[in-house]
Structure 1
Protein backbone atom coordinates (compact mmCIF):
# COMPACT_ATOMS: atom_id res chain seq x y z
CA UNK A 1 0.00 0.00 0.00
CA UNK A 2 1.24 3.48 -0.92
CA UNK A 3 1.06 5.84 2.07
CA UNK A 4 1.12 9.63 1.77
CA UNK A 5 1.48 11.76 4.89
CA UNK A 6 0.05 15.12 3.80
CA UNK A 7 -0.43 16.57 7.28
CA UNK A 8 0.54 20.23 7.46
CA UNK A 9 0.32 20.69 3.70
CA UNK A 10 -1.88 23.41 2.21
CA UNK A 11 -4.35 22.89 -0.63
CA UNK A 12 -3.92 21.53 -3.25
CA UNK A 13 -0.76 19.64 -2.18
CA UNK A 14 -2.58 16.60 -0.68
CA UNK A 15 -4.57 16.14 -3.90
CA UNK A 16 -1.50 16.63 -6.10
CA UNK A 17 0.46 14.02 -4.12
CA UNK A 18 -2.46 11.61 -4.44
CA UNK A 19 -2.72 12.35 -8.17
CA UNK A 20 1.00 11.60 -8.65
CA UNK A 21 0.74 8.32 -6.75
CA UNK A 22 -2.18 7.16 -8.87
CA UNK A 23 -1.19 8.47 -12.31
CA UNK A 24 2.59 8.20 -12.27
CA UNK A 25 3.33 5.52 -9.70
CA UNK A 26 0.32 3.39 -10.75
CA UNK A 27 -0.77 2.89 -7.12
CA UNK A 28 -3.97 0.89 -6.76
CA UNK A 29 -4.07 0.76 -2.95
CA UNK A 30 -3.37 4.03 -1.17
CA UNK A 31 -3.60 5.66 2.26
CA UNK A 32 -3.55 9.45 2.55
CA UNK A 33 -3.24 11.16 5.95
CA UNK A 34 -4.48 14.75 6.23
CA UNK A 35 -5.10 17.03 9.19
CA UNK A 36 -8.15 19.07 8.14
CA UNK A 37 -11.66 18.50 6.80
CA UNK A 38 -11.15 20.50 3.60
CA UNK A 39 -8.21 18.32 2.54
CA UNK A 40 -10.15 15.20 3.51
CA UNK A 41 -13.09 16.21 1.29
CA UNK A 42 -10.84 17.24 -1.60
CA UNK A 43 -8.81 14.01 -1.54
CA UNK A 44 -11.98 11.90 -1.31
CA UNK A 45 -13.55 13.77 -4.25
CA UNK A 46 -10.42 13.27 -6.33
CA UNK A 47 -10.26 9.55 -5.48
CA UNK A 48 -13.91 9.19 -6.44
CA UNK A 49 -13.21 10.88 -9.80
CA UNK A 50 -10.56 8.20 -10.40
CA UNK A 51 -13.04 5.40 -9.53
CA UNK A 52 -11.35 4.58 -6.22
CA UNK A 53 -13.47 3.29 -3.34
CA UNK A 54 -12.42 5.09 -0.17
CA UNK A 55 -13.09 5.03 3.56
CA UNK A 56 -12.11 7.56 6.21
CA UNK A 57 -11.04 7.01 9.79
CA UNK A 58 -10.41 9.91 12.18
CA UNK A 59 -7.66 9.54 14.80
CA UNK A 60 -6.58 12.34 17.14
CA UNK A 61 -7.80 15.04 14.74
CA UNK A 62 -6.15 13.50 11.67
CA UNK A 63 -8.02 11.81 8.83
CA UNK A 64 -6.76 8.50 7.40
CA UNK A 65 -8.19 7.98 3.92
CA UNK A 66 -7.77 4.44 2.63
CA UNK A 67 -8.69 3.77 -0.99
CA UNK A 68 -8.56 0.98 -3.53
CA UNK A 69 -8.87 1.22 -7.27
CA UNK A 70 -7.91 -0.57 -10.43
CA UNK A 71 -4.51 1.13 -10.58
CA UNK A 72 -2.77 2.27 -13.71
CA UNK A 73 -5.10 5.24 -13.91
CA UNK A 74 -3.25 7.60 -16.20
CA UNK A 75 -4.32 11.10 -17.15
CA UNK A 76 -6.15 9.68 -20.13
CA UNK A 77 -8.55 7.91 -17.77
CA UNK A 78 -9.96 11.19 -16.48
CA UNK A 79 -13.28 12.06 -18.08
CA UNK A 80 -12.82 14.62 -20.82
CA UNK A 81 -15.51 17.22 -20.93
CA UNK A 82 -16.74 18.07 -24.39
CA UNK A 83 -17.46 21.65 -25.29
CA UNK A 84 -21.04 22.48 -26.18
CA UNK A 85 -20.88 23.43 -29.86
CA UNK A 86 -23.95 25.63 -29.42
CA UNK A 87 -22.50 27.99 -26.83
CA UNK A 88 -19.56 29.25 -24.83
CA UNK A 89 -18.38 27.88 -21.51
CA UNK A 90 -18.07 30.86 -19.19
CA UNK A 91 -16.62 30.48 -15.71
CA UNK A 92 -17.36 33.20 -13.16
CA UNK A 93 -14.90 33.44 -10.26
CA UNK A 94 -16.33 35.22 -7.22
CA UNK A 95 -13.53 36.21 -4.83
CA UNK A 96 -15.48 38.58 -2.58
CA UNK A 97 -18.91 38.96 -1.00
CA UNK A 98 -19.02 42.61 -2.16
CA UNK A 99 -18.58 44.16 -5.57
CA UNK A 100 -16.11 46.98 -6.04
CA UNK A 101 -14.45 49.27 -3.51
CA UNK A 102 -15.54 52.37 -1.66
CA UNK A 103 -18.76 51.67 0.20
CA UNK A 104 -19.28 48.20 1.70
CA UNK A 105 -23.05 48.55 1.95
CA UNK A 106 -23.29 49.50 -1.72
CA UNK A 107 -20.84 46.73 -2.62
CA UNK A 108 -23.03 44.15 -0.90
CA UNK A 109 -26.14 45.40 -2.72
CA UNK A 110 -24.29 45.25 -6.05
CA UNK A 111 -23.11 41.68 -5.40
CA UNK A 112 -26.62 40.55 -4.48
CA UNK A 113 -27.90 42.11 -7.69
CA UNK A 114 -25.09 40.49 -9.69
CA UNK A 115 -25.77 36.98 -8.37
CA UNK A 116 -29.51 37.38 -8.94
CA UNK A 117 -28.86 38.52 -12.53
CA UNK A 118 -26.38 35.76 -13.45
CA UNK A 119 -29.17 33.53 -14.76
CA UNK A 120 -29.54 35.99 -17.64
CA UNK A 121 -26.31 34.55 -19.07
CA UNK A 122 -28.38 31.49 -19.95
CA UNK A 123 -26.60 28.34 -21.08
CA UNK A 124 -23.27 30.19 -21.49
CA UNK A 125 -22.81 30.19 -17.70
CA UNK A 126 -20.91 26.94 -17.05
CA UNK A 127 -19.10 27.21 -13.70
CA UNK A 128 -19.56 29.49 -10.70
CA UNK A 129 -16.51 29.39 -8.43
CA UNK A 130 -16.36 30.93 -4.95
CA UNK A 131 -12.95 31.68 -3.38
CA UNK A 132 -11.62 33.83 -0.52
CA UNK A 133 -14.38 36.03 0.96
CA UNK A 134 -16.74 34.90 -1.81
CA UNK A 135 -17.36 31.59 -0.01
CA UNK A 136 -19.46 33.54 2.51
CA UNK A 137 -22.16 33.71 -0.19
CA UNK A 138 -22.61 29.92 -0.02
CA UNK A 139 -23.25 29.47 3.70
CA UNK A 140 -26.23 29.58 6.05
CA UNK A 141 -27.74 33.06 6.28
CA UNK A 142 -26.28 34.41 3.02
CA UNK A 143 -28.87 36.62 1.33
CA UNK A 144 -28.11 35.18 -2.12
CA UNK A 145 -28.11 31.52 -0.99
CA UNK A 146 -31.54 30.78 -2.57
CA UNK A 147 -30.33 32.29 -5.86
CA UNK A 148 -27.10 30.26 -5.85
CA UNK A 149 -29.11 27.11 -5.07
CA UNK A 150 -31.43 27.92 -7.98
CA UNK A 151 -28.44 28.24 -10.33
CA UNK A 152 -27.17 24.85 -9.14
CA UNK A 153 -30.61 23.31 -9.69
CA UNK A 154 -30.51 24.71 -13.23
CA UNK A 155 -27.34 22.71 -13.91
CA UNK A 156 -24.62 25.26 -13.15
CA UNK A 157 -21.65 23.55 -11.51
CA UNK A 158 -20.84 25.42 -8.27
CA UNK A 159 -17.31 25.07 -6.84
CA UNK A 160 -16.49 26.35 -3.34
CA UNK A 161 -12.89 26.60 -2.14
CA UNK A 162 -12.36 24.23 0.80
CA UNK A 163 -9.24 26.02 2.06
CA UNK A 164 -11.19 29.30 2.12
CA UNK A 165 -14.12 27.73 4.01
CA UNK A 166 -11.68 26.31 6.57
CA UNK A 167 -9.91 29.65 6.93
CA UNK A 168 -13.19 31.35 7.86
CA UNK A 169 -14.38 28.34 9.95
CA UNK A 170 -17.35 27.91 7.59
CA UNK A 171 -16.79 24.37 6.28
CA UNK A 172 -19.76 22.96 8.23
CA UNK A 173 -22.03 25.86 7.22
CA UNK A 174 -21.72 25.50 3.44
CA UNK A 175 -25.16 24.92 1.94
CA UNK A 176 -24.54 24.75 -1.79
CA UNK A 177 -21.94 23.58 -4.28
CA UNK A 178 -19.03 21.18 -4.21
CA UNK A 179 -16.15 21.75 -1.80
CA UNK A 180 -13.14 21.92 -4.07
CA UNK A 181 -9.43 22.63 -4.31
CA UNK A 182 -7.12 24.75 -6.45
CA UNK A 183 -6.37 21.87 -8.83
CA UNK A 184 -10.05 21.63 -9.80
CA UNK A 185 -10.30 25.42 -10.11
CA UNK A 186 -7.24 25.64 -12.38
CA UNK A 187 -8.53 22.73 -14.48
CA UNK A 188 -11.90 24.50 -14.86
CA UNK A 189 -10.08 27.66 -15.99
CA UNK A 190 -8.29 25.64 -18.68
CA UNK A 191 -11.55 24.17 -19.95
CA UNK A 192 -13.48 27.43 -19.92
CA UNK A 193 -13.79 29.55 -23.05
CA UNK A 194 -13.83 32.66 -20.87
CA UNK A 195 -13.16 33.43 -17.19
CA UNK A 196 -14.81 36.42 -15.51
CA UNK A 197 -13.26 37.52 -12.20
CA UNK A 198 -15.37 39.43 -9.66
Structure 2
Protein backbone atom coordinates (compact mmCIF):
# COMPACT_ATOMS: atom_id res chain seq x y z
CA UNK A 1 0.00 0.00 0.00
CA UNK A 2 1.33 3.41 -0.98
CA UNK A 3 1.74 5.72 2.05
CA UNK A 4 2.05 9.49 1.86
CA UNK A 5 3.88 10.85 4.89
CA UNK A 6 2.46 14.31 5.59
CA UNK A 7 3.63 14.60 9.18
CA UNK A 8 4.94 18.03 10.10
CA UNK A 9 3.18 19.69 7.17
CA UNK A 10 1.22 22.87 7.88
CA UNK A 11 -2.30 23.38 6.55
CA UNK A 12 -3.23 23.04 3.74
CA UNK A 13 -0.16 21.04 2.62
CA UNK A 14 -1.50 17.55 3.52
CA UNK A 15 -4.56 18.16 1.32
CA UNK A 16 -2.45 19.64 -1.50
CA UNK A 17 -0.02 16.69 -1.35
CA UNK A 18 -2.95 14.26 -1.45
CA UNK A 19 -4.52 16.07 -4.39
CA UNK A 20 -1.22 16.07 -6.28
CA UNK A 21 -0.82 12.33 -5.64
CA UNK A 22 -4.28 11.61 -7.03
CA UNK A 23 -3.60 13.74 -10.13
CA UNK A 24 -0.39 11.79 -10.79
CA UNK A 25 -1.95 8.39 -9.99
CA UNK A 26 -5.32 8.19 -11.73
CA UNK A 27 -5.70 4.54 -10.64
CA UNK A 28 -4.32 4.94 -7.13
CA UNK A 29 -5.44 1.54 -5.81
CA UNK A 30 -4.82 1.12 -2.08
CA UNK A 31 -3.16 4.09 -0.39
CA UNK A 32 -3.02 5.92 2.92
CA UNK A 33 -2.00 9.34 4.16
CA UNK A 34 -0.18 9.67 7.50
CA UNK A 35 -0.57 12.93 9.44
CA UNK A 36 0.32 13.95 12.97
CA UNK A 37 -2.74 15.95 14.07
CA UNK A 38 -6.49 15.46 14.04
CA UNK A 39 -7.27 18.65 12.12
CA UNK A 40 -5.12 17.52 9.19
CA UNK A 41 -6.68 14.05 9.37
CA UNK A 42 -10.23 15.42 9.17
CA UNK A 43 -9.25 17.77 6.34
CA UNK A 44 -7.71 14.98 4.25
CA UNK A 45 -10.62 12.62 4.95
CA UNK A 46 -13.13 15.28 3.92
CA UNK A 47 -11.18 16.03 0.74
CA UNK A 48 -11.05 12.35 -0.24
CA UNK A 49 -14.75 11.83 0.44
CA UNK A 50 -15.67 14.93 -1.54
CA UNK A 51 -13.48 13.61 -4.36
CA UNK A 52 -15.40 10.33 -4.45
CA UNK A 53 -13.01 8.09 -2.48
CA UNK A 54 -14.18 5.81 0.29
CA UNK A 55 -11.82 6.02 3.26
CA UNK A 56 -11.51 5.39 6.98
CA UNK A 57 -9.66 7.31 9.66
CA UNK A 58 -7.46 5.21 11.94
CA UNK A 59 -5.23 6.15 14.87
CA UNK A 60 -1.66 4.85 14.79
CA UNK A 61 0.04 5.80 18.04
CA UNK A 62 0.31 9.57 18.00
CA UNK A 63 -0.35 9.66 14.22
CA UNK A 64 -3.50 9.38 12.15
CA UNK A 65 -3.91 7.29 8.99
CA UNK A 66 -6.52 8.03 6.36
CA UNK A 67 -6.83 4.73 4.48
CA UNK A 68 -8.47 4.19 1.10
CA UNK A 69 -8.70 0.68 -0.32
CA UNK A 70 -10.02 -0.57 -3.62
CA UNK A 71 -13.54 -1.88 -3.19
CA UNK A 72 -14.44 0.46 -0.34
CA UNK A 73 -17.82 2.15 -0.71
CA UNK A 74 -17.33 5.39 -2.58
CA UNK A 75 -17.25 8.68 -0.73
CA UNK A 76 -19.57 11.56 -1.29
CA UNK A 77 -20.18 12.73 -4.85
CA UNK A 78 -17.47 15.11 -6.01
CA UNK A 79 -18.17 18.54 -4.57
CA UNK A 80 -19.63 20.85 -7.15
CA UNK A 81 -18.87 24.53 -6.97
CA UNK A 82 -21.91 26.76 -7.33
CA UNK A 83 -22.54 28.09 -10.80
CA UNK A 84 -23.34 31.76 -11.24
CA UNK A 85 -26.45 32.14 -13.34
CA UNK A 86 -28.40 35.26 -14.23
CA UNK A 87 -31.62 35.25 -12.26
CA UNK A 88 -30.47 32.37 -10.05
CA UNK A 89 -29.84 32.55 -6.34
CA UNK A 90 -26.63 34.14 -5.18
CA UNK A 91 -23.99 32.28 -3.19
CA UNK A 92 -23.04 34.29 -0.12
CA UNK A 93 -20.06 33.24 1.99
CA UNK A 94 -19.86 34.65 5.53
CA UNK A 95 -16.40 34.62 7.11
CA UNK A 96 -16.25 35.00 10.90
CA UNK A 97 -12.72 35.73 12.13
CA UNK A 98 -13.73 36.62 15.69
CA UNK A 99 -16.42 35.71 18.21
CA UNK A 100 -17.54 39.32 18.61
CA UNK A 101 -18.28 42.30 16.41
CA UNK A 102 -16.32 45.54 16.62
CA UNK A 103 -13.90 47.14 19.05
CA UNK A 104 -14.75 48.40 22.50
CA UNK A 105 -16.97 46.61 25.00
CA UNK A 106 -16.45 42.84 24.79
CA UNK A 107 -19.90 41.98 26.19
CA UNK A 108 -21.59 44.23 23.65
CA UNK A 109 -19.44 42.78 20.85
CA UNK A 110 -20.43 39.22 21.78
CA UNK A 111 -24.12 40.21 21.92
CA UNK A 112 -23.85 41.85 18.48
CA UNK A 113 -22.28 38.70 17.02
CA UNK A 114 -25.03 36.54 18.50
CA UNK A 115 -27.69 38.81 16.98
CA UNK A 116 -25.86 38.78 13.63
CA UNK A 117 -25.80 34.97 13.51
CA UNK A 118 -29.44 34.72 14.59
CA UNK A 119 -30.36 37.10 11.77
CA UNK A 120 -28.35 35.32 9.05
CA UNK A 121 -31.32 33.12 8.18
CA UNK A 122 -32.95 36.23 6.69
CA UNK A 123 -30.57 35.79 3.73
CA UNK A 124 -32.61 32.70 2.86
CA UNK A 125 -31.27 30.35 0.20
CA UNK A 126 -28.60 32.88 -0.80
CA UNK A 127 -26.61 31.97 2.34
CA UNK A 128 -24.30 29.24 1.07
CA UNK A 129 -21.31 28.88 3.38
CA UNK A 130 -20.22 30.09 6.81
CA UNK A 131 -16.51 29.89 7.67
CA UNK A 132 -15.16 30.24 11.23
CA UNK A 133 -11.45 30.96 11.58
CA UNK A 134 -9.02 32.45 14.09
CA UNK A 135 -11.06 33.55 17.15
CA UNK A 136 -14.26 32.81 15.23
CA UNK A 137 -13.79 29.07 15.83
CA UNK A 138 -15.02 29.67 19.40
CA UNK A 139 -18.49 30.16 17.93
CA UNK A 140 -18.56 26.46 16.95
CA UNK A 141 -17.68 25.04 20.38
CA UNK A 142 -19.84 23.00 22.76
CA UNK A 143 -20.36 25.96 25.12
CA UNK A 144 -21.00 28.58 22.42
CA UNK A 145 -24.10 30.72 22.96
CA UNK A 146 -24.78 30.55 19.21
CA UNK A 147 -24.37 26.77 18.86
CA UNK A 148 -28.13 26.14 18.40
CA UNK A 149 -28.33 28.82 15.71
CA UNK A 150 -25.34 27.39 13.84
CA UNK A 151 -26.79 23.87 14.03
CA UNK A 152 -30.09 25.18 12.67
CA UNK A 153 -28.31 26.84 9.74
CA UNK A 154 -26.41 23.61 9.05
CA UNK A 155 -29.64 21.59 9.19
CA UNK A 156 -31.11 23.99 6.62
CA UNK A 157 -28.26 23.28 4.20
CA UNK A 158 -25.71 25.99 5.00
CA UNK A 159 -22.15 24.66 4.74
CA UNK A 160 -20.53 25.45 8.12
CA UNK A 161 -16.73 25.13 8.02
CA UNK A 162 -14.35 25.49 10.97
CA UNK A 163 -10.62 26.10 10.48
CA UNK A 164 -8.64 23.07 11.66
CA UNK A 165 -5.36 24.96 12.06
CA UNK A 166 -7.13 27.51 14.28
CA UNK A 167 -8.72 24.80 16.43
CA UNK A 168 -5.30 23.18 16.88
CA UNK A 169 -3.66 26.53 17.72
CA UNK A 170 -6.14 27.27 20.49
CA UNK A 171 -6.26 23.66 21.73
CA UNK A 172 -9.97 23.40 20.91
CA UNK A 173 -10.11 20.53 18.41
CA UNK A 174 -12.01 18.19 20.73
CA UNK A 175 -14.51 20.91 21.69
CA UNK A 176 -15.87 21.55 18.18
CA UNK A 177 -19.60 20.78 18.19
CA UNK A 178 -20.84 21.91 14.78
CA UNK A 179 -19.58 22.10 11.21
CA UNK A 180 -16.83 20.36 9.27
CA UNK A 181 -13.15 20.91 9.91
CA UNK A 182 -11.66 22.80 6.98
CA UNK A 183 -8.37 24.12 5.61
CA UNK A 184 -7.10 27.15 3.73
CA UNK A 185 -7.55 25.48 0.34
CA UNK A 186 -11.30 25.10 1.00
CA UNK A 187 -11.50 28.67 2.28
CA UNK A 188 -9.67 30.22 -0.68
CA UNK A 189 -11.62 28.13 -3.19
CA UNK A 190 -14.89 29.09 -1.53
CA UNK A 191 -14.04 32.80 -1.65
CA UNK A 192 -13.16 32.45 -5.32
CA UNK A 193 -16.50 31.00 -6.35
CA UNK A 194 -18.81 32.92 -3.99
CA UNK A 195 -20.85 35.74 -5.45
CA UNK A 196 -20.35 37.76 -2.29
CA UNK A 197 -18.13 37.46 0.80
CA UNK A 198 -19.17 39.06 4.11
CA UNK A 199 -16.39 39.20 6.69
CA UNK A 200 -16.28 40.06 10.41
> 1:44 maps to which residue?
45
- CA RMSD in angstroms comes to 1.8
Match of 1:153 among 152, 155, 158: 155
Shift of residue 190 of structure 1? 1.5
Query: Hey, what's the Cα distance between the residues in 1 that align with 2:126 and 2:45?
Result: 29
Shift of residue 57 of structure 1? 3.1
> 1:107 maps to which residue?
109
Query: Hey, what's the Cα distance between the residues in 2 that align with 1:80 and 1:155?
Result: 14
Query: Hey, what's the Cα distance between the residues in 1 that align with 2:78 and 2:147?
Result: 31
TM-score (norm 2): 0.88
Cα deviation per residue 1:8-35 (whole Å; 9 max; x = unaligned)?
A: 1111100100000001343333221100
Question: Contact conserved, 1:22 with 1:28, CA < 8 A, in 2?
Answer: no
Query: Hey, what's the Cα distance between the residues in 1 that align with 2:84 and 2:129?
Result: 13
1:45–1:69 distance in 2 versus 1, CA, 3 Å: farther
Query: Hey, what's the Cα distance between the residues in 1 that align with 2:173 and 2:7?
Result: 18
> 1:53 maps to which residue?
54
Question: Contact conserved, 1:2 with 1:21, CA < 8 A, in 2?
Answer: no
Name stretches of at least 5 consecutive residues in structure 2 with no aligned partner: 72-76
Does the alignment pair 1:120 with 2:128?
no
> 2:173 maps to which residue?
171
Shift of residue 69 of structure 1? 5.3
Question: Contact conserved, 1:158 with 1:178, CA < 8 A, in 2?
Answer: yes
Question: Contact conserved, 2:82 with 2:193, CA < 8 A, in 1?
Answer: no
| Partner SS, residue 144 of structure 2 | coil
Query: Hey, what's the Cα distance between the residues in 2 that align with 1:69 and 1:187?
Result: 29
Aligned residues: 192
TM-score (norm 1): 0.89
> 1:10 maps to which residue?
10
Shift of residue 65 of structure 1? 2.2
Name stretches of at least 5 consecutive residues in structure 1 with no aligned partner: 71-76
Query: Hey, what's the Cα distance between the residues in 2 that align with 1:79 and 1:152?
Result: 17
> 2:74 maps to which residue?
none
Cα deviation per residue 1:28-70 (whole Å; 9 max; x = unaligned)?
A: 3322110000011111111112222223332220112221359
Shift of residue 84 of structure 1? 6.6
Does the alignment pair 1:98 with 2:95?
no
| Partner SS, residue 195 of structure 1 | strand
Query: Hey, what's the Cα distance between the residues in 2 that align with 1:118 and 1:96?
Result: 16
| Matches for 1:178-197 after TM superposition, within 5 Å | 178-197=180-199
